[in-house]
Chains A and B, each alone.
Chain A
Amino acid sequence: MSLLTADGVTKRFAGITAVDDVHIALEEGERVGLIGPNGAGKTTLFNCLLGLLRPEAGSVSFDGQNITRLSVYRRARLGIGRTFQRVELFSGSSVRDHLLFALRIRSGTGALWKDVIGLGLPKPSEIERCDALLDSLGLGGMGDEPIEALSLGQSRLVEVARALMTQPRVVLLDEPSSGLDRAETTALAETLARIQSEQGFGLLLVEHDVELVASFTERTYVLDFGRLITSGATSEVMRDPEVRAAYLGDSVAGAQ
């Protein structure tokens, strides 16, 4: 039994089938890519996995439990973390606050009566945990910075850190390389790989950047026009002529 599976997921928008009977599965501790050209249905599938969209057919399950009808926050509390393609941070809060929010909301139920008698305040040990994670992501010493002061690459790391503070078993990354240059992407990938191997969560990478997927993932699914056209070990998928034709374009496939 895989940790996170999509079973025959289908999603239509006003007659257009954005995702058509797609099956994917993710094991714990695995790094998996999901690629496809623009408009292939990657983001739609991603949103179905996260609960932002309800599929018309098929089911999503997590750790053996059918979660197709669960809300976004329920899935988050089960252990599905995510990042955003267009960075979504809590403006007006510091870097450390982002981690602290996630940690506290995950660990406490946040009952009002606890807050009222002072049990809801962050403990020193929790602040230390946040700072430790910031350190290991290379953001040490930036805890007090306002979030607006960070570069895009750093912001993406904060998103990752925020997701990790909820102690997820799976993290879904939505195009982490968009807006970053090559060097920044490489740095981000290295940090991600290190943290992932340390903590052992499953990682689903929805990406555009083929090089990042090639260097980073063990298995890859390829979507085109809403359908899964192939899947398998990343190195083999990258050599698949159909993938090259659909995704990289014929000219690139022909040139090599």
Chain B
Amino acid sequence: MTASVLAAGVLEDTIRAFFQGLPIGAGFALVAMSFVLTYKTSGVFNLAFGAQAFISAATYFELHVRRDWPIWSAVLVAVVLVAPVLGLLLERLIFRHVHASSAVAKLVISLGLLVALPELFKLIVDYNREQPFGAVGIIPDGATVYRLFGRYPVTRDEIAAFVIVVAAALALAALFRYTRLGLRIRAVVQSPRMTELNGVNADWVSSGSWMLSSFFAGLAGVLLVPTTSSLGTVLEPTGYFPIVISALAAAALGRLVSLPAALFGGLLLGVVTTQMRTHVPRDNVILAELQGPALPYVMLFAIIVFWPAIRRQVAGADPLLGVSPPPPALAATSRSRGMTIYTRIMALAFFTAVGIWTFGYANNFWISRITHSVIFSIIFLSIVVFTGLGGQIALCQVTFAAIGAFGAMQFAQRWDISVIVGMLAGAAIAAAVGAVLSIPVMRLGGIWLAIATLAFALFFHDVLVKYSWVGGSLFHGRGVPRPEFLGVDFSSRENFLILCIAVLVLVGVLVILIRESSTGMALRALRGSEIAAESIGVISWRSRVVVFSVSAGIAAIGGGLLAMEERLVGYEANFDPQTGLFWLVIVVVLGARTVEGGVQAGVAFVIFPELVLHRWLGLDGAWRYVLFGFAAISFARHPEGLLEHGKRRSQAMMQRMFTRRQPAMAAAGPPATTAADEGDEP
């Protein structure tokens, strides 16, 4: 008797959760279909959909809430006008020109856009002039509750979301089946080149599919306003991250190529989410997390690692080898002796001048900025190791840096152990975490590795940081002292800067040693050809574990130093996963292959917005996201980095200047002319 009542209760809960899950899944499905659409037609794994969805939602917000436009006209402009035009612009101006680049290069561009687009939008409409509170959904009285079959509650928003998504999916299916554009998209997906040979303009098809997918993203953006802003009611780009992640998981179920799989995957994940919330007991901490914020990340990670279709699809994709011809040798290796000496003297003079200014004349503000740029150089060396040496892209360096910072904090707070020891312990923990993380994701290459590590970073951000044994407790705060060891007190600004420079030099030398010796050779061999590397005895899994943990350890050391410099762990300001995306973008844009590249990126990250943007140009510091975000486009053409590219060009130019004179002399022209030529030279 009681058992059957219980069973009926469970059944009712299950059905209720099912109806609640469908609308959530509909949102996932919409974004997932956008992913599939652009990935199929242009090979772009467009993480910027999060940004596109945000822009449509924010346009709608701006027009309807702030300027009192009626809902229908605001939606019309935001979804039917802004979204497709944005998609068209992205395709025409950017992605069309990188058609032949590797999937990873395109991923980096989309990361740049993910960082740049929302900031650009905010700057243009002056979005932050007042806090973007009070977002409302596009359905009037959306929170009105109806009862399905008399007992299962659903809101008007949910019904509308589900109906609109199903209608959109049906319309898409009809488009593919019955229209010329649909037929052409299907053909282009099969083989762009063959389709072009048949007289179809593949570019035009690609534009069409980008407009379509952008429209979907925009639609998802406004539909999901009630979902993303229900808690904080602040309409910010980060609100779209969990949805994009879930949508990625849905798209991954169909290996990014099947639209029906993306649709059903999205709905399935939505239903799974609500079923978990209903049925998984809450008394266990881990199970409780799994029902809430952790779920999308765990799902995405699990799907990428365990879904057999993806394991089979894995292809080695070195971001630095994506273009043909392969990246040229470093400028430093092809430099002549004279040039090398000249470069070294110039560098020495430069650093001496900066040093004299810093320690003699700079005020506290600039000393702190310079310390920051030294510390970020250290952190960015971890990207040099992972991407420059290892040849792969990871998006969780920010997490490792946070582990180092929290390590320093925890050891100092709990056990009163020297903060230096704490930082090193944090680095050891980060290295261990990196090694453990590397085992499941090692077999993945290219974009899947990037996505899996992003899922890990977001998991840390949304789940682990909240635990007091990770992120500290509110009671103790996140204070971190400056170190004192070997009888030297590093609490003054100058002394601490000296310590940071010493660590940077140590880490830089370490990176060079690793690059030039056996480990680096094994990594370069693996990047070149995994099968050939194994044929000469390279143990691929071990090299991968090593590169993961070394890079994690370096990031953690930098993170620890940053916490000491700021005297607290500024987690939200410094170690947000979205900040991590920007880290990666700025390092690969400037040059991920050399230690200098990492240092230049560190300086550019800290000094550039302050000095160039703020002081000289009088611009908002947020322009750095826009500038470097868009600069990511250059990665497709110059995967070795802009600075390395510039160095090689100027070097080639100077060498041409030098050699032009020599053949003239060798050609045994009249001696008088030669003498006159030389006389001209001061």
Contact = CB atoms under 8 A, between A and B. Distances in A.
Interface of A: 50, 52, 71-73, 76-77, 81-82, 84, 88-94, 97, 100-102, 104-106, 108, 110-112, 114-116, 118-122, 146, 148, 159, 162-163, 165-166
A92 B526 CA distance: 11
Contact of A106 (B325, B520, B532, B537): B537
A101 B540 contact: no
B598 to A, nearest CB: 18
B524 interface: yes
A105 B531 contact: no
Top 5 nearest A-B pairs by Cβ distance?
A120-B517, A90-B528, A110-B518, A88-B532, A76-B537
A78 to B, nearest CB: 9
5 contacts: A52-B531, A72-B534, A90-B532, A93-B528, A112-B514
B522 interface: yes
Mostly helix, strand, loop or mixed at chain B's interface?
helix
B529 A89 contact: yes
Nearest to B534: A72
Contacts of B516: 120-122
A196 to B, nearest CB: 18
A111 B326 CA distance: 29
Most chain-A CB neighbours within 10 Å: which of B518, B524, B532, B538?
Answer: B518
Nearest to B550: A112
Nearest to A104: B518
A100 B536 CA distance: 11
A89 B532 CA distance: 7
B430 to A, nearest CB: 16
Contacts of B532: 84, 88-90, 159, 162
Interface in B281-325: 320-321, 325
B255 interface: no
A81 B535 contact: yes
Contacts of B320: 92
B531 A88 contact: yes
Contacts of A52: 531
B617 interface: no
A118 B527 CA distance: 23
B160 interface: no
B159 to A, nearest CB: 49
B528 A92 contact: yes
B522 A105 contact: yes
A169 to B, nearest CB: 13
A76 B535 contact: yes
A106 B522 CA distance: 11
Contacts of B442: none
Interface string B324-340: 01111100000000000
A71 B533 CA distance: 13
Given A73-B534, A89-B528, 16 more contacts: A52-B531, A76-B534, A82-B535, A91-B529, A92-B321, A93-B528, A100-B521, A104-B518, A105-B521, A110-B519, A115-B514, A115-B520, A118-B513, A118-B517, A148-B326, A165-B536
Contact of A73 (B326, B519, B540): B540
B510 interface: yes
